[in-house]
Amino acid sequence: KAGVTQTPRYLIKTRGQQVTLSCSPISGHRSVSWYQQTPGQGLQFLFEYFSETQRNKGNFPGRFSGRQFSNSRSEMNVSTLELGDSALYLCASSLNTVQGGYTFGSGTRLTVV
């Protein structure tokens, strides 16, 4: 079966711009989570969606937002980009968040210049 697909793979944006990243989960997985990975802070939880509802949110400013569609596909948006937003953004989907693991996509590498 197809894995978690993230698009685009690479992105270069200018400070102050906004960006939208996309994630298609494994078919049948209704939970989609987003993580940010940087060399300094490591892997940090951004938010989790289930059936189009945000169930949990990490400690990120309001510039980071997301949504989930009825087909479970998810997007995350970062507005007013800052240099510190440069990171690998990873999406993960799960069938059962309590008893099962997460399947991660290959990530979108965002560079803000």
What residues line the site for another protein (CB under 8 A)?
4, 31, 33, 35, 37, 41-45, 48, 50, 55-56, 58-59, 88, 90, 92, 97-107, 109
Cβ closest to another protein, residue 73 vs residue 88: 88
What's the min distance (Å) between Cβ of 105 and another protein?
5
Cβ closest to another protein, residue 68 vs residue 97: 97
What's the min distance (Å) between Cβ of 69 and another protein?
19
CB atoms near residue 102 (< 10 Å): 17
What's the min distance (Å) between Cβ of 48 and another protein?
5
> Which residues make beta-bridge pairs with 35?
45, 90
23, 6 Cβ separation under 8 angstroms: yes
What's the min distance (Å) between Cβ of 80 and another protein?
24
CA–CA separation, 23 vs 84, rounded Å? 22
Cβ closest to another protein, residue 79 vs residue 102: 102
CA–CA separation, 77 vs 48, rounded Å? 14
Cβ closest to another protein, residue 18 vs residue 96: 96
CA–CA separation, 103 vs 26, rounded Å? 8
CA–CA separation, 4 vs 88, rounded Å? 15
